[in-house]
Amino acid sequence: MGYYSQRISQAAITLVAGAFVTFSVYRLMPGGPLEAIRRQLVRQMVRRTGSVDRELIAQRTQMLTGINPDTPIPIAFYEYTRDIVLYQDFGQSIAYNQPVFDVLFQAMPWSIFLSSYGLIIGYTATIVIGAVMAWYEGSKVDFGLTGFVLTMNSIPYYVVAIVMLVVLGFQYHIFPTGGRYAGHVVPGFNVPFMISVARHAAMPIISTAVVGFAAGSLQLRGNAIRVIGSDFIRSAEIRGIGTNRILTRYLTRNAILPTYTSMMVGISTLFSSSVIVERIFQYVGVGWYMFEALQLQDYPLMMGSFLFFATITTLAILFADLTYGLIDPRAGTGASRENF
Amino acid sequence: MRDDDTDYRGDGGTAEERIFGTGEQRKATRTPIREKANRTFDVYVRSPLRIAWEDWRTRIGGLLLLFYILLGTFGVYFIPEPTLNEGPTYAGAFQSLDYPLGTDNLGRGIAEKIVHATPAMLKMALAGALTTTGAGTFFGFVSGYRGGITDRVLMTITDVQAVLPGLPLIVMLAAVFTPSNPFVVGVVLAIDTWPPLARSLRSQVLTLRESDFVEAGRSLGLSSWTIIRQDLIAKLAPYILVNAAGAATRVIKASVALYFLGILPFSILNWGVMMNRAYKTGNAISAPGHAGHWLFFPALALSGLLFSLVLFSQGLDRVFNPRLRARHAESAPDEDAAPQGEVR
C-alpha cells in the first residue's frame, strides 16, 4: 500500500473511531443528552396521560435526535453514520427546528474563513520570528523578540480578544464589535460587502492568530541555532550567498521540521479555539452554534458541530502530513519516517 | 565491589561466583546513607537549582511562581476573605487601602477575590500537569519501547485523542459532568494536553532504545520495566518536567476560558468566574470605566501566573538542554560540551 493511501485510510479510521467514541459518550453518559430528552418526554407523557408508553417514548426520542435509545450503540452508530453519509442527515436541531446540516452548513464557510487566516498569519509569524531570533542570536534583537514571544505566549488569546474588543471596538470604534457583516450591505460579490466582511473578521482573525502566534518560534530558534553551526551554512557564507537566501533556502528549510510536526498537533487547538473566539465577537460560525446548542441543550446540533470540528481537524492534519515531503525533501513521501 | 577482588583468584574456578555473587561483602563497603543522600541532593537538587538560578528566565519565573504559591498557601490566611459591602459598589482601583483594586457590584474587594481564587487555580494546574505527565509518559514510553502491536494500539488511541478537537470535547464533557472540584476540572482538561507529549516522548524513546546503555541493560537480562524506569525515565525526566510546566499553562488557560464563558459551574472562586461576572453584570466590555478593574485585574493575575510558568519552563528547557548549554558554556559550564565553531 502506498504511503498516501495508507495515510488517508489512517485518517479515515481515526475520524470514525473518534466519532464513535464521542457518540458512545453521548449515548452512555449518565444524565447525558439522550437521558435528558427521554426523561423530559416521560415527564410530559405522565403529566398528560398518566402512563408511560415505552415504545412511543423511544419513537419520539428518535424523531427529536435521530437516535433510538433502545438500539444498541454499534447499530445506532452505524445508522447515524449511514444517514450522514447517504443523506447528509445529522438529525434535527431542537432549538432551531431545522435539520442540523442546514444550520451548520451556512455557518461553516465563516468558521473556516476565520481559522485558515488565523492559521496562516499565526504560523507565518512563528517561522519568521524564529528564524530572525536564531540569526541574531545573543543580540538585542534576539533578547527583545524572546521577551515579546514569551509575553505573547503567556497572555491567553481570549484576554487579547477582550482587550481588543474594549479598546478597538467600544472605545475607538475602529472595528465593529460583533456580527459577520453590517446590516445595511447586500451579501454578494460587491465591494461594500467585502469590506464589511473584512472589517468584521479582523478582530476574530487576529485573536485566532494569537492562539498559534509564535508558539513554536522558540523551538524553531533552537533548531536553527543548531543548523547555523553546521558546515554547509558556513560554506554558503564563504561562497558569498546573500543573507536572505541563506535564511530562506538553507536555514529555515532545514530547521523547520520539528516545528512543522508540532504545528500539526497544534492545528486541532487552533480550530477548537473558535468556540471561544466566535462567542466573544458574536461571530455566527460553527463554534457559536456549538455554544448556543450547549446553552439550549440542543444535543443533535452539538453532536453535529462536534463532528464538523473533528472532520476539519482531521483534514487539516492529513493535508499537513501529505505536504510534509514538500517542506523537507529528505523525508521523501514520508514512507520511511518513523515519527509522524 | 573493589574490595572483593582479592578474595577471588582468577583461575576460572570461582569466577562465576564473583560475577553473580550474593553481594554479601558489598554491604560492608556501602556508602553511608547520609553521604548518599547528600550526593543525591547535590546532583538532583542543588546543582540544577544553581544552574537554574544563573538563567534569568528561571530566576524571574521561579520567583514569580513562588510568589503565587505563597499567595495560594499562606496568603489566604493573612488576607481576609472578601465580604459583602466592604466598600462602595463599583469603586475604582487604587482609591483606598481597604480595597486596593476596587470593588465589585456587591462591594467586595477585587484584590481579596483574586487572592482567594489562587488556591483553586494552583490545584487545577497541578492536577492537569500530573495527569498529562502520567498519561503522556505511560503511552509514549510503553509504545516506543515495546513497539509492534502495542505501539500500534497505543498510538491509534493517541492519534484519535489528538485529532478530536479538545475544547469542543471538553465543553461537551463539562456540560454533562459539571465538575466542580478543581482537581477534577484539572484532570478533565488534561484530555487535550497529553497526546502531543506522548507522541514526542515516543519518538525520543525510539532513538534512545537503540543506544548503548539500553542495549547493555537488555543483554544483562533486565526487564523492560526496569530499563524504562531506571534508564529511560531518568534520561528524559528533564524533558518531561518542562512539558509538565507547559501542560499546567494550557490547563489554566482552558479552565479560565471555560469559567469565563460560564460553561463550568460557578461553585468556586476563580479568575474566570470574576471575569464572567464583570462581563455579564458589570458590562465591563462596553463600559470599562465602570467595571473594567473587575475584568482586567483577574486577567492580569492570570497572565502573570502563565508568564511565570512559561518563563520557568523555557528556562528549564535551556538548563536541561545539553546542546544549548554547550553553546552557552560561559553561563552554565558543562564538561561534556562539544566544541562548536564560532558562527558569526
pLDDT digits (tens, 9 = 90+) for B137-170: 899 888 888 878 888 888 888 888 877 777 878 8
Find, in chain B, the residue whose alpha carbon is nearest to that of A161: B285
Closest CA to B195 of B228, B163, B239: B163
Confidence label for B331 from pLDDT (cuts 50, 70 and 90): very low
Q: How far apart are CA A114 and CA A207, in angstroms?
A: 10
Which residues lie closer than 8 Å to B292 by C-beta, 6 or more apart? Answer: A166, B278, B284
Three-state DSSP class for A329?
helix
Q: For residue A106, what pLDDT is reported?
A: 86
Say which range, A74-78, B45-49, B305-309, has the weakest mean pLDDT. B45-49
**How many CA atoms does the CB half-sphere of B181 hold within 13 Å?**
8
A279·B206 Cβ contact <8 A = no
Find, in chain A, the residue whose alpha carbon is nearest to that of B306: A154
Q: Is the pLDDT of residue B131 over 90?
A: yes
Find, in chain B, the residue whose alpha carbon is nearest to that of A21: B160
Give the length of chain A: 340
Q: Is the pLDDT of residue B7 over 70?
A: no
Q: How many interface pairs between A and B have CB atoms less than 8 angstroms apart?
A: 145
Find, in chain B, the residue whose alpha carbon is nearest to that of A177: B286
Q: For residue A335, what pLDDT is reported?
A: 42
Region B101-122: what's the mean pLDDT? Answer: 81
| Helical segments of chain A, H only | 3-28, 33-49, 54-65, 73-87, 100-105, 108-135, 140-154, 157-164, 191-212, 217-228, 231-238, 243-245, 253-272, 274-280, 286-296, 299-322, 324-327
Task: Record the pTM.
Answer: 0.78
Region B292-300: what's the mean pLDDT? Answer: 83
Judge whether B167 is closer than 8 Å to chain A, CB to CB.
Answer: yes
B343·A229 Cβ contact <8 A = yes
What is the amino acid identity at position A216? Answer: G
Q: For residue A162, what pLDDT is reported?
A: 87
Region B14-43: what's the mean pLDDT? Answer: 64
- Count of beta carbons in the 10 Å neighbourhood of residue A255: 24
Closest CA to A95 of A287, A295, A298: A298
Q: How far apart are CA B287 and CA B279, in angstroms?
A: 10
From chain A, pick out residues whose CB is under 8 angstroms from the CB of B284.
166
Q: For residue B26, what pLDDT is reported?
A: 53
From chain B, pick out residues whose CB is under 8 angstroms from the CB of A156.
253, 256-257, 302-303, 306
What grid cell was written down for B301? 493575575
Bigger pLDDT: A25 or B337?
Answer: A25
| CA–CA distances in Å: residue B73 to residues B184, B186, B301 | 20, 18, 16
Region B86-111: what's the mean pLDDT? Answer: 72
In degrees and rounded to multiples of 5, residue A327 shows phi and psi of: -75, -45
Q: Is the pLDDT of residue B327 over 60?
A: no
Q: How far is B17 from chain A (nearest CA, A)?
A: 44
Q: Is the pLDDT of residue B320 over 50?
A: yes
Q: For residue B102, what pLDDT is reported?
A: 74
Judge whether B261 is closer than 8 Å to chain A, CB to CB.
Answer: yes
Can you tell me which residue has the cell 465591494?
A191
Q: Mind listing the pLDDT tens digit for each residue in B162-193? A: 777 778 788 777 776 777 788 888 888 888 88
Q: Is the pLDDT of residue B127 over 90?
A: yes
From chain B, pick out residues whose CB is under 8 angstroms from the CB of A317.
163
Q: For residue B130, what pLDDT is reported?
A: 92
Mean of per-residue pLDDT scores for chain B: 76
Check: CB of residue A128 under 8 Å from CB of residue A332.
no
Bigger pLDDT: B25 or A185?
Answer: A185
| Cα Rg of chain B, angstroms | 26
Q: How far apart are CA B261 and CA B300, in angstroms?
A: 18
Q: Which of A15, A153, A302 sits opposite B172 (nearest CB)?
A: A302
From chain B, pick out residues whose CB is under 8 angstroms from the CB of A273.
167
A154·B162 Cβ contact <8 A = no
Q: For residue A331, what pLDDT is reported?
A: 52
In degrees and rounded to multiples of 5, residue B262 shows phi and psi of: 85, 25
Q: What is the DSSP string of A219-244?
A: HHHHHHHHHHTSHHHHHHHHTT--HH
Q: For residue B126, what pLDDT is reported?
A: 92
**What residue ranges of chain A have pLDDT lower than 70?**
1, 26, 28-36, 63-70, 212-215, 261, 265, 325, 327-340
In DSSP terms, A92 is beta-bridged to: A99
Q: For residue B280, what pLDDT is reported?
A: 79
Find, in chain A, the residue whose alpha carbon is nearest to that of B307: A154
B165·A306 Cβ contact <8 A = yes
Q: For residue B328, what pLDDT is reported?
A: 45
A13·B156 Cβ contact <8 A = yes
Confidence label for B336 from pLDDT (cuts 50, 70 and 90): very low
Closest CA to A257 of A298, A228, A304, A223: A223
What grid cell was written down for A97? 427546528
Q: What is the DSSP string of B278-344?
A: HHHTS-TTT-HHHHHHHHHHHHHHHHHHHHHHHHHHHHHHHHH-HHHHHHTTTTS--TTPPP-----
Confidence label for B11 from pLDDT (cuts 50, 70 and 90): low
Closest CA to B246 of A145, A154, A221, A149: A154
**How many CA atoms does the CB half-sphere of B258 hold within 13 Å?**
32
- By CB atoms closer than 10 A (0-12, 13-18, 19+), residue A287 is buried
Q: For residue A264, what pLDDT is reported?
A: 72
Which residues lie closer than 8 Å to B321 by C-beta, 6 or more apart? Answer: A222
Three-state DSSP class for A99?
strand
**How many CA atoms does the CB half-sphere of A271 hold within 13 Å?**
29
> CA A79, A85, A90, A91 torsion: positive or negative?
negative
Judge whether B148 is closer than 8 Å to chain A, CB to CB.
Answer: no
Q: For residue B135, what pLDDT is reported?
A: 92
| Helical segments of chain B, H only | 15-19, 24-29, 33-41, 47-54, 56-70, 76-78, 110-146, 148-163, 166-177, 182-189, 194-208, 212-219, 224-227, 233-261, 271-280, 288-320, 322-327
